[in-house]
């Protein structure tokens, strides 16, 4: 089942799509799900014994460590070597998920009523997480001019209550990495205004239409910066519940942040011992899964472009990385009606642009994870329908 947005459509009934999906499932009607985000349901090959390390007998001894066990933090640091970076394990903080890491960072950086800047378009998660921490959000815009980039005028026009900027690189769903000049300008603004920088890099292992993308930004930043990663995307293992935050920036800021995070993390002690004991083996053993996912999304993006070529009214926008493609389609009907009609008449589910707060209409977002035979057939039907 796809995770549906709580963002309301600009027209119509906000619950219509959920009801339609419930009715189809109740009637056992099959449909092609082009919103798929779970790699374990995408026909990706997983070794049968991939999770054998979770039964390591060392996990029978419970020795809690707030920031994560030394073995788990060292596993994250060791994994950085394949990207050519050096990570100090002492600057790594383990959590059960990136959502939990966000929660901890909002606790660390903000008081009630403070503001975090978030990108738009983006996945509709941040408003929910900030609201749970009694923190406000203020959007800054991403604009598309051949690639998605930050509209800095919208970013600097931020409320005085701002404490941090959140960036996603590559962004979900636009697939845009922060460019070098954007990162430099962003950190300069953060330095001037005393903001922290939070960078979600969960999809960084899946570059597509780009060369030498900028990653591991906490290691390169002159201001207090936190980069987030997790096994859900980096290893294709959402079920093991393991994530990490790299804390960077000036030494004094980094030390203060780590001390604060240690207190917060010690309150929860949420990361299980078995997964921390298994971390090093999981990074090694799951590499073929990551490779298979990368091969799948590369193939599927290439195929989307081939299939869309005979339909010039549809534009598959540039995708620098990640698991999604944004398609601009003819605005012949409201997006929510388009999605409902596709589901009813073609039995294909896609995300509407309003899910991600795209500017104007009409956009759909298609996952690059589905099996090739499913994606090829369903996307052709989408193209024919929107051009009909």
Last residue of a domain, one of 266, 285, 304: 285
Widest pairwise Cα distance in the chain: 63
Same domain? For 265 and 333 the reply is no
pLDDT digits (tens, 9 = 90+) for 317-328: 999 999 999 999
How far is the CA of 90 from the CAs of 197, 204, 257, 258, 288, in angstroms? 19, 22, 12, 9, 28
For residues 355 and 336, give the distance between their C-alpha atoms in angstroms, rounded to a whole number. 10
Beta bridge pairs of residue 316:
327
Percentage of the chain beyond pLDDT 90 is: 92
Asked whether residue 316 is assigned to any structural domain, the reply reads yes
pLDDT digits (tens, 9 = 90+) for 11-67: 666 688 889 899 989 999 999 999 999 999 999 999 999 999 999 999 999 999 999
Provide the CATH number for the domain around residue 314.
3.90.1150.10
Same domain? For 35 and 70 the reply is no
Provide the CATH number for the domain around residue 75.
3.40.640.10
For the chain, how many structural domains are there in total?
A: 2
Mean pLDDT value across residues 369-383: 98
Nearest to 249 by CA among 203, 276, 218: 218
Residue 270 CB neighbours (<10 A):
13
What are the start-end ranges of the H helices in 70-179?
70-79, 98-109, 126-132, 152-156
Phi and psi (nearest 5°) for 322?
105, -160
pLDDT at 7: 60
**pLDDT above 90 (res 237):** yes
Are the beta carbons of 170 and 213 closer than 8 angstroms?
yes
For residues 353 and 361, give the distance between their C-alpha atoms in angstroms, rounded to a whole number. 7
Show the domain range for 36. Answer: 16-45+288-386
Are the beta carbons of 73 and 89 closer than 8 angstroms?
yes
pLDDT at 108: 98
Asked whether residue 170 is assigned to any structural domain, the reply reads yes
Same domain? For 258 and 355 the reply is no
**pLDDT above 50 (res 1):** no
pLDDT digits (tens, 9 = 90+) for 144-176: 999 999 999 999 999 999 999 999 999 999 999
Last residue of a domain, one of 285, 318, 350: 285
Same domain? For 149 and 254 the reply is yes
pLDDT at 4: 40
Are the beta carbons of 141 and 151 closer than 8 angstroms?
yes
Mean pLDDT value across residues 225-238: 98
For residues 132 and 120, give the distance between their C-alpha atoms in angstroms, rounded to a whole number. 20
For residues 173 and 155, give the distance between their C-alpha atoms in angstroms, rounded to a whole number. 19
Asked whether residue 7 is assigned to any structural domain, the reply reads no
Same domain? For 125 and 238 the reply is yes
Same domain? For 221 and 306 the reply is no
**pLDDT above 90 (res 90):** yes
What is the C-alpha end-to-end distance of the chain, expressed in Å? 28
For residues 188 and 341, give the distance between their C-alpha atoms in angstroms, rounded to a whole number. 46
Same domain? For 256 and 302 the reply is no
pLDDT at 257: 98
Last residue of a domain, one of 252, 285, 318: 285
Nearest to 244 by CA among 199, 208, 209, 286: 199
Strand 315-316's sheet: what is its strand order?
315-316, 324-328, 363-367, 351-352
pLDDT at 73: 98
Same domain? For 134 and 274 the reply is yes
Contacts of 171 (CB under 8 A, 6+ apart): 119, 121, 122, 142, 148, 322
pLDDT at 288: 98
Confidence at 2, pLDDT banded by 50, 70, 90: very low
Residue 260 CB neighbours (<10 A):
15
Asked whether residue 91 is assigned to any structural domain, the reply reads yes
Interhelix angle 287-308/273-285, nearest 10 degrees: 60
What are the start-end ranges of the H helices in 269-312?
273-285, 287-308
Same domain? For 263 and 343 the reply is no
pLDDT at 10: 66
Mean pLDDT value across residues 90-119: 98
Asked whether residue 1 is assigned to any structural domain, the reply reads no
pLDDT at 261: 98
Same domain? For 193 and 164 the reply is yes
Asked whether residue 4 is assigned to any structural domain, the reply reads no
pLDDT at 12: 63
Residue 388 CB neighbours (<10 A):
8
pLDDT at 100: 98
For residues 123 and 356, give the distance between their C-alpha atoms in angstroms, rounded to a whole number. 5
Q: Average pLDDT, whole number, for the chain?
A: 95
Asked whether residue 248 is assigned to any structural domain, the reply reads yes
Are the beta carbons of 58 and 39 closer than 8 angstroms?
no
Determine whether 107 is exposed, middle or buried from the number of CB atoms within 10 Å of its CB (0-12, 13-18, 19+): middle
pLDDT digits (tens, 9 = 90+) for 327-341: 999 999 999 999 999
Same domain? For 101 and 226 the reply is yes
Same domain? For 332 and 359 the reply is yes
**pLDDT above 50 (res 5):** no
Contacts of 90 (CB under 8 A, 6+ apart): 73, 258
Asked whether residue 8 is assigned to any structural domain, the reply reads no
Mean pLDDT value across residues 216-235: 98
């Amino acid at each position: 089942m796809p995770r549906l947005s709580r963002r309301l459509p600009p027209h119509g009934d906000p619950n219509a799509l959920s009801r339609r999906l419930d009715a189809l499932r109740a009637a056992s009607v099959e449909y092609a799900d082009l919103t798929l985000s779970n790699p374990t349901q995408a026909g990706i090959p997983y070794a049968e014994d991939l999770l054998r390390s979770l039964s390591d007998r060392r996990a029978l001894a419970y020795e809690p460590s707030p920031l994560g066990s030394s073995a788990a933090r060292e596993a994250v640091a060791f994994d950085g070597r394949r990207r050519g970076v050096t990570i100090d394990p002492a600057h790594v903080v383990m959590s059960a998920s990136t959502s939990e890491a966000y929660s901890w960072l909002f606790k660390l950086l903000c008081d009630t009523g403070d503001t975090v800047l978030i990108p738009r378009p983006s996945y509709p998660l941040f408003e929910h997480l900030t609201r749970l921490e009694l923190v406000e959000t203020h959007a800054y815009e991403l604009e598309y001019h051949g690639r998605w980039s930050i509209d800095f005028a919208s970013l600097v026009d931020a409320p005085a209550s701002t404490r941090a900027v959140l960036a996603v690189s590559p962004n979900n769903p636009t697939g845009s990495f922060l460019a070098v000049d954007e990162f430099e300008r962003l950190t300069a603004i953060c330095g001037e205004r005393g903001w922290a920088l939070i960078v979600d890099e969960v999809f960084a292992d899946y570059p597509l239409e780009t060369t030498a993308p900028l990653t591991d930004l906490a290691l390169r930043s002159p201001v207090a910066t936190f980069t987030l990663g997790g096994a859900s995307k980096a290893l294709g293992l959402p079920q093991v519940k393991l994530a990490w935050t790299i804390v960077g920036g000036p030494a004094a800021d980094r030390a203060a942040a780590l001390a604060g995070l240690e207190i917060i993390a010690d309150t929860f002690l949420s990361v299980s011992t078995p997964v921390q004991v298994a971390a090093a083996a999981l990074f090694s053993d799951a590499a073929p899964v990551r490779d298979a996912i990368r091969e799948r999304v590369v193939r599927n993006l290439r195929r989307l472009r081939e299939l869309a070529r005979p339909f010039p009214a549809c534009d598959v926008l540039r995708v620098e990385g990640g698991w999604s493609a944004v398609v601009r389609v003819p605005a012949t009907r409201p997006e929510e009606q388009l999605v409902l009609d596709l589901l009813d008449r073609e039995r294909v589910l896609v995300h509407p642009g309003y899910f991600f707060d795209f500017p104007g209409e009409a956009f759909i977002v298609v996952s690059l994870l589905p099996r090739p035979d499913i994606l090829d057939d369903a996307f052709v039907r989408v193209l024919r329908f929107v051009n009909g």
